Amino acid sequence: MPSGTPETDRPFVVVGVSGGIAAYKSVELVRRLRERDYHVAVITTPAAERFVSPFTLGTLASEPVARDLFSEAGGPIPHTRLGQLADLIVIAPATADVIGRYAAGLGDDLLTTTLLAARGTVLVCPAMHTEMWENAAVQENLATLRRRGVLVLEPASGALAGGDEGPGRLPEVEVIVERVASLVEGPGHPLSGRRLLITAGGTREPIDPVRVLTNRSSGRQGHALAEVAAQWGAEVTLVTASELPAPTGWGHVTTVRAETAAAMREEVLARLDDADALIMAAAVADFTVRPAATKLKRRDGVPTLHLEPTADILAEAVARRRPGQVLVGFAAESSDALRNGREKFVRKGVDLLVLNDVSRPGAGFETATNEVVLIDATGEEPVSLRSKAEVARAVLGRVASLLSRGDE
């Protein structure tokens, strides 16, 4: 827990509220953070005050709402005071406009100047319509912030303003509070101190120096699992075939690149004995080929590719598992998903199988959302369509439960 500031011995949390319809949730967020005995300061943008009253927020916060970039003569400079004192700044909601200005390094109001002066952790909670959330400029701005160590709590999927539905909804207040608590109080989740080995992405099997055999997996789900596991206190090794940036903002993720099935097998098995749990979220190729030494030419006619099976990494892990070790498999299916998933759970001998019907809209590869069924010895639990970070929380909650049973 932070040692406090010159003004308070409690964690000092700044809540930045920008101008989106989800600003009404900031009232409950401030109340819940105060219930945890944090010192809570609030900054509103002019647009935020079109949605929620500074008087209401200030009544619930630890001090009056900060609204003006310029203080009275002789008084403390607002943005430097808040930036220096804050253990954590959480922007909820964070609009596309605020995200863009923060990524560009602009400081044209009290919120953005405070962000530029911040010494502590910054957590951004985007909320906007789906079309805006999926816009390339917004995603590039978020990628820039992540590279700089800013933490991003991805939005939920659900009802939006105007009767629309989709990803872009501000996560529920309890989700934001849990994330804030894990940052300012330190990890207190059952994954604290656990060592997790997680795989991600679709492997790429070379045909020649130019071409590869691969699949549609983006690696987003595996990377979300790694980031959430680190948030929950685990020591994570992420073995990934994806080109996504390594999870940032957490000191507990070691990222290892492994492009082919053979390379992923080598990296996983080398680290398996030290892991409390293995989560095989990667889409590992079932077949590979012996690559040609030089590029295959069209003029030479249609080549014959001799497919060879790759090693079953999960089966090898099951065969050499140690007592108490939890093994999780993933199954991507496009037809008869539940039947195939049940059969795979039994055949693989894993503790948990995450079934993903990639034929369903918004689920599966190359999407920001997912919808899965968790299958274990006790039965099946559907996890409805939501962001991949939220799916990761559902999976890891089950992993934590399985690990705690092994300790009994």
Angle at 204 between CA 201 and CA 207, to 5 degrees: 170
pLDDT in tens, 109-119: 999 999 999 98
Residues 354 and 397 in one domain: yes
Assess whether pLDDT exceeds 90 at residue 149: no
* Secondary structure (DSSP) of 110-139: HHHHHHHH--SEEEEEE---HHHHT-HHHH
Which has the higher per-residue pLDDT, 143 or 329? Answer: 329
In a domain? residue 189:
no
CB 104 within 8 A of CB 136: no
Q: What are phi and psi of 371, to 5 degrees?
A: -145, 125
Residues 172 and 228 in one domain: no
Q: For the chain, what is the domain count?
A: 2
The mean pLDDT of 327-351, rounded to a whole number, is 95
CA 8 vs CA 62, 133, 196, 283: distances in Å: 11, 37, 37, 49
Domain with residue 114: its CATH number is: 3.40.50.1950
Helix axes 110-117, 78-85, angle to 10 degrees: 40
In a domain? residue 190:
no
Residues 372 and 236 in one domain: yes
Domain with residue 332: its CATH number is: 3.40.50.10300
Residues 201 and 167 in one domain: no
Residues 170 and 244 in one domain: no
pLDDT given at position 126: 95
Residues 148 and 34 in one domain: yes
The mean pLDDT of 197-207, rounded to a whole number, is 96
Which has the higher per-residue pLDDT, 398 or 364? Answer: 398
Residues 170 and 240 in one domain: no
Residues 206 and 180 in one domain: no
List the single range of 24-28, 114-118, 145-149, 221-225 with lowest mean pLDDT.
145-149
A 10 A CB-CB count for 184 gives: 22
Which has the higher per-residue pLDDT, 75 or 360? Answer: 360
Residues 152 and 223 in one domain: no
In a domain? residue 267:
yes
CB 278 within 8 A of CB 324: no
Cis omega (within 30 of 0) for bond into 93 = yes
Catalytically annotated residues: 215
Task: Give the predicted TM-score (pTM) of the model.
Answer: 0.61
Q: How confident is the model at residue 163 (pLDDT cuts 50, 70, 90)?
A: confident
Residues 395 and 271 in one domain: yes
Residues 113 and 238 in one domain: no
Helix axes 136-147, 96-104, angle to 10 degrees: 50
pLDDT in tens, 285-324: 999 999 999 999 999 999 999 999 999 999 999 999 999 9
pLDDT given at position 185: 76
List the single range of 117-131, 196-210, 277-291, 313-327 with lowest mean pLDDT.
117-131
Q: How confident is the model at residue 6 (pLDDT cuts 50, 70, 90)?
A: very low
In a domain? residue 268:
yes
Which of residues 184, 214, 235 is at a domain's end?
184
Question: What domain range is 144 assigned to?
Answer: 12-184
Which of residues 162, 184, 206 is at a domain's end?
184
